[in-house]
Structures are given as C-alpha cells and as structure tokens.
C-alpha cells in the first residue's frame, strides 16, 4: 500500500478520455424519461390533493439530483403537516387511494426503516417509492443538484463511479457496502480537494485557503453568503445556491475525466487514511475521527469509512460498513486503481460483473 500511492499516472491516460465519455453519455437518461416522470408525479399530485389538500409532493434522490441513470425508479416525498398524523395510517390510506386508481403492485411497507408505499404505474412503466416527511432528503437532493451545475466533471465522475459500484456489487447498503448517495458525496469531496479545486464548498461561508485568489471577484472576497436557508427537523440547512455564478469555478484545473477516474480510485485505494479521517463536503475538508468522536464502535456504527452527511452532521454514511464489507470495498478500490493504472482497455475490466 505505502509505495503504490506514489505512483505516477500512466502516460497514455489521454487516450482513455473518449471511451469514458462515451460510457457517461450512454448512461444519461433520454428526455422522454423525464417527461414520463413528470406525468406520473402530476397524477400522484392529483390523487394526493383530493385526500390531503394541504399536502405537497417532492421528487428526491437520483430522479431529481441529476445523478440518475437511465431507467431508474423515482423517489417521492409526501410532505404533510406533522403534528397529529400517524405515519402508518397515512401510508395505508395512501396505498388504498393509489390502488383504487389502478396503480399496480401497490404495497405499504409501514415497518421498514424508512416506511414507504411502493407502486408501479402501468401507463409510464415507472416504479416509485413514496415516503412521508423525509424533507432532509429533499434538501440534500437540491444540494447535490446544485453541485452538479457547477462543473460537468462531477456528473461524469459520479456516473462512472455509480456504474462501477453497481456492476461490482458494492452499492448494497443491506450487505454493508455504500449507497449511491454516499458515492456522490465521495465524488464531491474528491473534486473539492483537487488542486486547483474543481468544486467549491457551498456550505462554507468562510474562504477555503486553497480557493484560487483571482477567481470570482466580489463573491470570493466576501465569502460565500448563504443564499438558501431552510430549517428541517431542527437542522439549519443553509448554503450558497446561486451556482450559475460559479460556472467557471473549476476552469483553472484542466484534468479530464480519465485522469479523475484514475485519481479517484487511487485515492480510495492508497491515499485515504481510513484509520483517522472523515470526509466532509460541508467543510470542504478532511476532519479527524477524533473531533467527530467517531473513534470507536457505538451500537452498530463502526465508522470504518467515514463520510459525514452535509446536513445531519452526526450521521456517518459509512456506518453500514462492517469489518467484512470494509475489506470487500477496499479490495474493490484497489482492483479499480490497478486496472486504471495498467490495463490497456480499463473500461472492460472495470465494469465486469462480479
């Protein structure tokens, strides 16, 4: 491990750009999929409003954060006044309503960790999960979506990493590997840490010392003001969301997608300090496990790979990882890093089903 992190990137890396870009492009959902999702959401809104006129529906997850590949299911959040509702009753009622409107495979999972109603719309062919009042997910969806607007390399890298994780079987939280959400946070962190940085830190109102001093004029001098702010579950979620002003933030860094994929895997294989580091897109830096008090196992949280949630800061997205799955994950990162370093056609082996 110790020597490999000093590896220089292969000299023919430029040759790998076109194939990786082609894979990225093949994963982008076609426009008509978006239209079908809208159509289903409109139908659901109509049905929900009849029963709960005050309620609202929000899309969240990969159908709304711009990291969704083709043919994904959609995630919907029903926002409804909390004070005197019983979530299970609402879910069961909702399931009734949906079923009588001919939606199919309707199932209320009231005892799941996140209780949901599942359904399939026979008209659009889209499957959908509806949860209740999971508004932090709606807000973190907006944060990810805003980051994606700043530099296209984030979306390219995240698509490749998610595709790799699904093919290699390391995108299964119930088996102790990581969620898609966690992988996107890893990509954002990684691009915040490049020098020059490819992404800024939207939540940090103070200047990051590494920001290119010539960049951005006024906005940089004053730091990032919090132009968006909501309070959800007693957590203040605030950040700079005028991302159209940040479109050339990463332009001083000319790294291409192949270099970034190489470097991402080499970072997680050989350079990340699993023993003491926590990645934090909220601060745009590495924190120590010590300062988060994530140094030992508490209950089921083992903190073997630490990824801080940007808003629920006590939440480690790596908490699902156990002593067996951490080994699987790290071996997969090493495998991917070695393929990116030595394989003449790395895109074949990289996405080989496990």
Whether the CB-CB separation of 258 and 13 falls below 8 Å is answered with yes
Q: List the one residue from 164, 181, 249, 347 that touches ligand CTP (CB under 6 A).
A: 181
Question: By CB under 6 A, is residue 308 in contact with ligand CTP?
Answer: no
> CB of residue 9 vs Mg ion: minimum separation in angstroms?
33
Site string for ligand CTP, 192-231 (x = CB under 6 A): ----------------------------------------
Question: By CB under 6 A, is residue 137 in contact with ligand CTP?
Answer: yes
> CB of residue 334 vs ligand CTP: minimum separation in angstroms?
23
Q: Which of residues 53-112 bind Mg ion (CB under 5 A)?
A: 61-62
Question: By CB under 6 A, is residue 180 in contact with ligand CTP?
Answer: yes
Question: By CB under 6 A, is residue 176 in contact with ligand CTP?
Answer: no
Q: List the one residue from 140, 177, 203, 204 that touches ligand CTP (CB under 6 A).
A: 140
Task: Give all strands (DSSP E) within the chain, no chain letters.
Answer: 56-60, 74-79, 104-109, 116-120, 127-132, 228-232, 235-239, 277-280, 285-288, 306-308
Q: Segment contacting ligand CTP (CB under 6 A): 56-64, 249-257, 263-271, 290-298?
A: 56-64
Q: In Å, how far are 44, 113, 128, 239 from 76, measured between CA atoms?
A: 10, 16, 7, 23
Nearest residue relative to Mg ion (C-beta): 61
Q: Which does 137 bind (CB under 5 to 8 A by kind): ligand CTP, Mg ion, none?
A: ligand CTP
Q: List the one residue from 13, 23, 33, 65 that touches ligand CTP (CB under 6 A).
A: 65
Buried b (16+ CB within 10 A) or exposed e, 27-42: bebeeebeebbeebbe
Sign of CA dihedral 173, 176, 181, 183: negative
> CB of residue 187 vs Mg ion: minimum separation in angstroms?
16
Question: By CB under 6 A, is residue 37 in contact with ligand CTP?
Answer: no
Buried b (16+ CB within 10 A) or exposed e, 321-336: bbeebbebbbebbbbb
C-alpha closest to that of 163 among 272, 70, 73: 70
**Three-class SS state of 261:** helix
Whether the CB-CB separation of 153 and 260 falls below 8 Å is answered with yes
Number of H helices and E strands in the chain, helices first, is 11, 10
> CB of residue 248 vs ligand CTP: minimum separation in angstroms?
27
If the CB atoms of residues 58 and 249 are measured against ligand CTP, the closer one turns out to be 58
Q: In Å, how far are 59, 64, 79, 231, 295 from 136, measured between CA atoms?
A: 12, 14, 11, 9, 26
Q: List the one residue from 60, 239, 240, 265 that touches ligand CTP (CB under 6 A).
A: 60
Separation of CA 45 from chain center: 26
> CB of residue 34 vs ligand CTP: minimum separation in angstroms?
14
> CB of residue 208 vs ligand CTP: minimum separation in angstroms?
25
Helical segments of 58-179, H only: 87-100, 135-150, 152-167
If the CB atoms of residues 61 and 250 are measured against Mg ion, the closer one turns out to be 61
Question: By CB under 6 A, is residue 305 in contact with ligand CTP?
Answer: no
- Tell me which residues touch ligand CTP (CB under 6 A): 60-62, 65, 67-68, 72, 75, 136-137, 140-141, 179-181, 317
- Tell me which residues touch Mg ion (CB under 5 A): 61-62
């Amino acid at each position: 491990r110790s020597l490999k992190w000093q590896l220089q990137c292969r000299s023919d890396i430029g040759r790998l750009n076109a194939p990786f870009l082609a894979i990225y492009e093949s994963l982008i959902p076609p426009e008509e999929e978006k239209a079908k999702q809208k159509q289903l959401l409109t139908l659901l809104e109509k049905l929900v409003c009849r029963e709960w006129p005050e309620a609202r529906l929000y899309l969240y997850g990969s159908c709304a954060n711009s990291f969704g590949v083709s043919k994904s299911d959609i995630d919907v959040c029903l926002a409804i006044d909390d004070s005197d509702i019983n979530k299970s009753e609402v879910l069961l009622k909702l399931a009734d309503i949906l079923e009588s409107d001919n939606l199919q495979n309707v199932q209320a999972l009231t005892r799941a960790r996140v209780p949901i109603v599942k359904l399939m719309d026979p008209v659009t062919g889209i499957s959908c999960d509806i949860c209740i009042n999971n508004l932090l997910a709606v807000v973190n969806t907006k944060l990810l979506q805003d980051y994606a607007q700043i530099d296209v390399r984030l979306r390219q890298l995240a698509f490749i990493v998610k595709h790799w994780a699904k093919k290699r079987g390391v995108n299964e939280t119930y088996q102790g590997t990581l969620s898609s959400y966690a992988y996107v946070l890893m990509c954002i962190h990684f691009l915040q840490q490049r020098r020059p940085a490819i992404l800024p830190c939207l939540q940090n109102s103070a200047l990051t010392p590494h920001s290119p001093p010539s960049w951005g004029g006024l906005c940089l001098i004053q730091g990032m003001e919090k132009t968006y702010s909501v309070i959800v579950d007693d957590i203040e979620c605030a950040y700079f969301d005028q991302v159209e002003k940040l479109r050339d933030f990463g332009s001083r860094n000319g790294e291409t997608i192949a270099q970034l994929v190489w470097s991402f895997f080499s970072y997680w294989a050989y350079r990340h300090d699993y023993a003491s580091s926590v990645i934090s897109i909220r601060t745009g830096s590495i924190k120590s496990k010590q300062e988060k008090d994530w140094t030992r196992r508490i209950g089921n949280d083992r903190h073997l790979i630490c990824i801080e949630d940007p808003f629920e800061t006590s939440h480690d997205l790596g908490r699902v990882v156990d002593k067996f799955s951490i080994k699987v994950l790290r071996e997969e990162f090493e495998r991917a890093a070695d393929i990116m370093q030595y394989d003449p056609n790395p895109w074949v082996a990289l996405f080989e089903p496990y």
